[in-house]
Amino acid sequence: YSQDNYKKLGKEVDRDEWHMTPQTVNAYYNPTTNEICFPAGILQPPYFDLNADDAQNYGAIGVVIGHEMTHGFDDSGRQFDKDGNLADWWTEADTEAFNALSEVLVNQFNAIEVAKGVNANGRFTLGENIADQGGLRVALTAYLDSMKGKEMKEIDGFSAIQRFYLAYANLWAGNIREEEILNRTMTDPHSLGKLRVNATLRNIVEFYEAFGVKEGDKMWMPENERVIIW
């Protein structure tokens, strides 16, 4: 890997080069080329399923696509312009507003205890938390736009919007030991799977409406404490 990079010194940047193999089950946004990439490996369940209904696919691969798009406007990606140059292209007022909203999100995650005596690191995971929220919102908007004039059917007792959010939650379902919780909290810029679902959805009003979440429910967060960045 290092030798390959060394050979690139002095050469023109290959903007068509992939940074993941086609078999990789992942996706990425590259701010220096302003591109999003989705290898073939991610185009399978639970991310994408040809046999699933649109609500499920928009809630899964749709959110992942929106997530990677939003990385272009998170705390790191926003520092690069459309050509991939490190440049301050935001107005001072926009930067101040973004930072103020981001601080609310940081504090939300900082307040969550992930293990006895250990809290999540909202600063470390800020970029990914912004991308999760943005991905959910843009994917839902895209789904609703695609369904204009069409019937959004109930399936297995769940509405289309409920299935959208359930598909997203299913991406991050898992069970890990406390040692792994601590390891990921210290080393992974992504929040733990449970937090990517519960802590993120608590800010989104459409989630409350879809499931009838009300004051007193565990997923309820007072409106004045919620924050939407994108």
pLDDT for the residue 71 = 98
How far apart (Å, rounded) are the C-alpha atoms in residues 87 and 31? 11
Contact 109, 195 (CB under 8 A): yes
Question: Residue 215: which pLDDT band, with cuts at 50, 70 and 90?
Answer: very high
Quote the pLDDT of residue 7. 86
Q: Which of these is catalytic: 14, 49, 68, 113?
A: 68
Which H helix or E strand runs over 197?
Answer: helix 193-201
Q: Are strands 113-115 and 118-119 parallel, antiparallel or unpaired?
A: antiparallel
Q: Give the number of C-alpha atoms closer than 13 A to the C-alpha of residue 26, restricted to the C-beta side.
A: 7
Which runs of E-coded beta strand occur in the chain? 28-30, 35-37, 113-115, 118-119
| 209 in active site | no
Give the pLDDT score at 32.
92
- Which one from 74, 75, 128, 132 is the annotated catalytic residue? 132
Give the integer Cα–Cα distance in Å for 63 and 85.
27
For residues 4-16, average pLDDT: 85
Q: Say what the pLDDT of residue 14 is.
A: 83
pLDDT score of 159: 98
Note the pLDDT tens digit of each residue in 187-201: 999 999 999 999 999
- Reported as a pLDDT band with limits 50, 70 and 90, residue 8 is confident
pLDDT, tens only, 33-53: 999 999 999 999 999 999 999
Contacts of 164 (CB under 8 A, 6+ apart): 55, 56, 58, 59, 139, 140, 143, 210
Is it true that domain 2-225 has CATH number 3.20.20.140? Answer: no
Q: How many CB atoms lie within 10 A of CB 181?
A: 16
154 as an active site residue: the answer is no
pLDDT confidence band for 108 (50 / 70 / 90): very high
Least confident residue range of 1-10, 70-79, 161-170, 205-214: 1-10
Give the least confident one: 10-14, 117-121, 126-130: 10-14
Instruction: Report the pLDDT averaged over residues 53-78.
Output: 97
What distance in Å separates the CA atoms of residue 126 and residue 74, rounded to the nearest whole number?
Answer: 8
Q: Could you tell me the residue ranges of all domains in the chain?
A: 2-225
